[in-house]
RNA sequence: GGCCCUGUAGUCUAAUUGGUAGGAUACGGCGCUGUUAACGCCGUGGUGCUGGUUCGAGUCCAGCCGGGGCCGCCA
């Protein structure tokens, strides 16, 4: 029997069996209170010595925190129990003992990360996992509803892309290869048959970034659409994000509330989001005495200031083309890129980077060369512009950053079960 | 790549100008028939490593190792 269904009042008065782990354990001599957790909730099990006999009582009294147990008993409504229901125990069996489990109320961050495999049992990380699941579920259903096909690109690649030296290199038999930083180029290849595609794949950055917004391995939600310009691209993003926020509010409201995020704020998220151009943003920041001039990218403090000005999600559009990636479409003067970054509320920073893609074979080649890339490695990508080229756009969302926002986390590492940071690859 | 902080029992932490390392929690034992991170009493257990300064180092210095925060880079 699942604890959740007991807490829903479906089994009051019945004798049932639950299976779970010891969440709390108290004893007053003649009564043991064992609070048992399963994936659906926690339930207090009350073991009375005069009801169960010496042997069962001893088993319940000596069990450990986090031990796994099977408990039988009669469900009763009782206001003295933490959840309003408790199990009057008739049988108690430990399945797996748990001597000296290194989990405590007051853990330092180092201990917590060293024991991440156990700390995942905490209420907080369980709530985050459920919210993340719900958000990704919502994303999938939105894409399907909007005629997008989910596709599965390769993770091992020859193309460094994004013009970065920050790739993880590995030996692919005798030749060097890399872990992907973005699936974009593979998605672009697939729009010629499926037109609208999306993927959820890991991306890797070999960058020693130690900030609340960076992981070396993160999950990248990317989409690419044929026959789509920058404007429509933005509309897709805001609808997708709004749908996911609304779904989380509706289906995981309890979890986000527990994590300190008011579900109502997520329920209210709706398109259209605010938009500002890069030029306007620079002016706004300069008015607030930020040290920024035209042609410079925004820093984290700039993004936080912007978040305060707009109170919600905001798109910053039309960045100077030379600041942005080689594949972005540009205006006629080649000054601005047809792109948009989505900044999250409350200083969560850049959640999405997206753009219309350039179909100008010549321009893409020039930009690649300017970034010191070997054009030969990109032949296949350039081929896409050679054969049946089509206006198209796409974007990439940082899943952990989005989940961090949904869950009110102060660091993206808690948005993923096993965070990878520059000096942590275990557990 | 830049700036800053930090390392004391299993865990969280205290220790004044350098002077016998204290508490909490966990764990072990005893007690307790309605606990809510139960409680009461008793017990075990500690200064990351190497060197230096000093009569004396958790404290000051150097190096090493570990960890964290902020920024750049980006999602």
* Domains of chain A: residue spans and CATH: 3-96 (2.40.50.140), 116-415 (3.30.930.10)
Cα-based angle A223, A204, A107 (whole degrees, multiple of 5): 110
Q: Which are the contacts of A161, defined by CB distance < 8 A and separation ≥ 6?
A: A181, A182, A184, A185
What are the structure tokens assigned to A50, written together?
């005069």
Which residue numbers in chain A have pLDDT < 70? Answer: 160-165
Peptide bond into A427 cis (omega under 30): yes
Q: What is the pLDDT of residue A160?
A: 67
Rounded to a whole number of angstroms, the distance between the first and last alpha carbons of chain A is: 32
Q: Is residue A161 within 8 Å of A353, Cβ to Cβ?
A: no
Its ipTM equals 0.88
Residue A73's contacts (CB-CB under 8 Å, 6 or more residues apart) are A15, A16, A45, A46, A87, A88, A89, A90, A91
User: In whole angstroms, what is the distance from residue A150 CA to residue A145 CA?
Assistant: 12
Res A161: pLDDT = 58
In DSSP notation, A195-260 reads: SEEEEEEEEE------STT--SEEEEEEEEEES--HHHHHHHHHHHHHHHHHHHHHHSHHHHHHTT
Report pLDDT for A165.
65
Distance A107 CA to B72 C1' (A): 31
- On chain B, which bases lie within 7 A of the protein's CB atoms? 1-2, 10-13, 25-28, 31-39, 66-75
What confidence score (pLDDT) does residue A426 get? Answer: 84
- In whole angstroms, B39 C1' to A36 CA is 21
Å separating the CA of residue A89 from the C1' of nucleotide B30: 26
Given a contact cutoff of 8 angstroms between Cβ atoms, the answer to whether A320 and A278 are in contact is yes
Q: Residue A294: helix, strand or coil by DSSP? A: coil
């Amino acid at each position: 029997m699942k604890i959740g269904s007991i807490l829903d009042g479906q089994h009051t008065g019945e004798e049932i069996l639950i299976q779970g782990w010891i969440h709390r354990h108290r004893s007053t001599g003649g009564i043991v209170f064992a609070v048992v957790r399963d994936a659906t909730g926690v339930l207090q099990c009350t073991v009375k010595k005069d009801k169960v006999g010496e042997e069962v009582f001893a088993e319940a009294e000596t069990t450990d925190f986090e031990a796994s147990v099977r408990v039988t008993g009669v469900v009763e409504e009782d206001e003295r129990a933490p959840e309003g229901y408790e199990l009057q125990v008739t049988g108690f069996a430990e399945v797996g003992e748990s001597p000296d489990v290194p989990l405590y109320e007051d853990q330092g961050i180092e201990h917590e990360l060293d024991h991440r495999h156990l700390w995942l049992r905490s209420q907080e990380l369980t709530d985050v996992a459920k919210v993340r699941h719900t958000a990704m579920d919502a994303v999938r259903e939105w894409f399907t509803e909007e005629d997008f096909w989910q596709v599965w690109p390769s993770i091992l690649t020859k193309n460094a892309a994004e013009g970065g030296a920050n790739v993880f290199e590995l030996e692919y038999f005798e030749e060097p290869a890399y872990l992907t930083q973005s699936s974009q180029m593979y998605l672009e290849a697939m729009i010629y048959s499926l037109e609208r595609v999306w993927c959820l794949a890991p991306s890797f950055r070999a960058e020693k970034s130690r900030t609340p917004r960076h992981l070396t391995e993160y999950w990248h939600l990317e989409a690419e659409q044929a026959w789509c310009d920058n404007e429509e691209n933005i509309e897709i993003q805001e609808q997708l994000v709004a749908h996911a926020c609304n779904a989380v509010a509706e289906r995981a409201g309890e979890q986000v509330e527990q994590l300190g995020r008011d579900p109502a704020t997520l329920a209210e998220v709706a398109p259209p989001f605010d938009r500002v151009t890069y030029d306007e943003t620079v002016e706004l920041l300069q008015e607030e005495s930020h040290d920024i001039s035209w042609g410079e990218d925004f820093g984290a403090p700039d993004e936080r200031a912007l978040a305060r000005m707009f109170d919600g999600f905001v798109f910053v559009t039309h960045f100077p083309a030379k600041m942005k990636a080689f594949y972005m479409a540009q205006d006629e003067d080649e000054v601005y890129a047809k792109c948009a970054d989505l900044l999250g509320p409350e200083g969560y920073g850049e959640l999405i980077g997206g753009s219309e893609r350039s179909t100008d074979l010549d321009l893409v080649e020039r930009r690649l060369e300017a970034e010191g890339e070997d054009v030969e490695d990109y032949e296949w990508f350039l081929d896409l512009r050679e054969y049946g080229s089509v206006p198209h756009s796409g974007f990439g969302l940082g899943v952990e950053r989005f989940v961090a926002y949904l869950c009110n986390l102060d660091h993206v590492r808690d948005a993923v079960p096993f965070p990878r940071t520059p000096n942590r690859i275990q557990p």
